[in-house]
Amino acid sequence: MKREGEVMTDTAKKKPLRKTVKPVPSEAFKNQQLNLFQTFLGEKDELSNAVDLWDNTPRFSISRRKQEKLRLAGGFLPISTINFQYRRFPFTADIRPARFKLYGQDGKPTGETIEYYPSAREELIEHALRKLAVEEQAGYFDKPDFRSGCRFSLHQLRTHLIEQGHSLRYDELIEGLEILALSSIEIKGEGDQEDITGSGNYITLVARVNRKDIKADPDSKWLVQFHPLITDSIQKVTYRQFNYKRLMNCRTQLARWLIGQLVLKYTNASLTNTFDMKYSTIKRDSALLESYTRGRDAIAALDGAWAEVKALGVLTSFRKAEQRSGRAKLEDVIYTLHPSVEFAAEQKAANRRQNDDRTKNNTAQQQTLELFMDQPKSTRKIT
């Protein structure tokens, strides 16, 4: 059975991305902050990092099928505004699609363009890039220029995705990377202390290898720069480890979203407590059930996704309770979740690792401050 995110529509040749890249210094590939991001409690091969606000934003929710329905004359797509909640506060995400020039078989521009939003395939690619970034000499964190990302080869990325059960051709990978680099998202909302606004491309930079170099050496290195929210999370140590192999083994995008939510929100998972999630909340915050015209069909899809999550070992069981109005109209469904021993242990390990990393980070910052203050004022340099 094919997994969501593996099917693409064929498009004509597109103009490659070209952008001057400031070299990443060698110290960005080895420093305290990056070391914390790359070190896990548990089997490193199976783990990756979730980023709170970024991974709570429904940024890959518009399927290719839905895009075709939304497409305007000339291949254009409108700016998509998605409303969701983050920590009980209202947020919006304004997504602007990537636009490509189309080229004919002769290599000349046709004068036409086509646009795409990032969807399930791009989600898989982004997850894979973040996983590659935890490898030594692949990921980087450049504090002075406030940037993070990874370097990789297309062969490495393709092989990694195949190992996770997602086979993509080289041209599909390139198209996915370009969509991530050319699509932008603006996230706006309220925070505990102040309003939050952030905008930028999904991947703020892609330094690519040209076709001739790829043919000559499939291991030629590409470089990507992650969204500032990921960089901010690395700097502030707000990321959280999770079972990456399980997430990538999901057949459906909705199951991936549900697991991601449990990782970020069900932090006290244990056999002695349960966790409730409402259908209405899932529909609002995932934006993955909007294509269903009938509520019962959306609920059936959600039931199937929960069954998949259970089969993957996150839950031992779940039960649903329908909420109906006086006229027996279905108003909502509450899902009560019972975690597995394995998932509860993973969450405990994630809690411990997060606490340990924050302690190490605070200690390192204090030591840096003490060294700074010990220097003569004339020689102090702030970085």
Q: What is the pLDDT of residues 90-143, one digit of tens each?
A: 999 999 999 999 988 888 999 999 999 999 999 999 999 999 999 999 999 999
Supply the pLDDT for residue 13: 47
Confidence class of residue 236 from pLDDT cuts 50, 70 and 90? very high
End-to-end CA distance of the chain: 51
CATH fold, domain 250-363, is: Arc Repressor Mutant, subunit A (1.10.10)
Q: Round the CA-based radius of gyration of the chain to a whole number and report it.
A: 22
pLDDT digits (tens, 9 = 90+) for 8-20: 444 444 554 455 6
Q: How far apart are CA 26 and CA 186, in angstroms?
A: 31
d(CA 185, CA 96): 6
Average pLDDT over residues 359-373: 65
Rounded alpha-carbon distances, angstroms, from residue 176 to 59, 115, 141, 148: 14, 12, 23, 19
Classify residue 79 as exposed, middle or buried by CB count within 10 Å of its CB (0-12, 13-18, 19+): exposed
Determine the number of helices (DSSP H) and then strands (DSSP E) in the chain.
13, 15
Angle at 83 between CA 78 and CA 85, to 5 degrees: 155
Domain ranges within the chain, ordered by starting residue? 27-238, 250-363
> What CA–CA distance (Å, rounded) separates 307 from 297?
15
Question: Buried (b) or exposed (e) across 166-187, using 16+ Cβ within 10 A?
Answer: bebeeebbbbbbbbbbbbbbeb
CB 199 within 8 A of CB 183: no
Q: How confident is the model at residue 275 (pLDDT cuts 50, 70, 90)?
A: very high
Q: Are 125 and 202 in contact (CB under 8 A)?
A: no
Q: What token pair was written down for 323?
A: 């909420």
Alpha helices in the chain (DSSP H): 32-38, 52-56, 64-70, 120-132, 154-163, 170-182, 211-216, 228-236, 244-248, 253-265, 279-286, 295-311, 341-374
**Listed residue (77, 63, 96) closest to 286, CA to CA:** 63
pLDDT on residue 376? 59
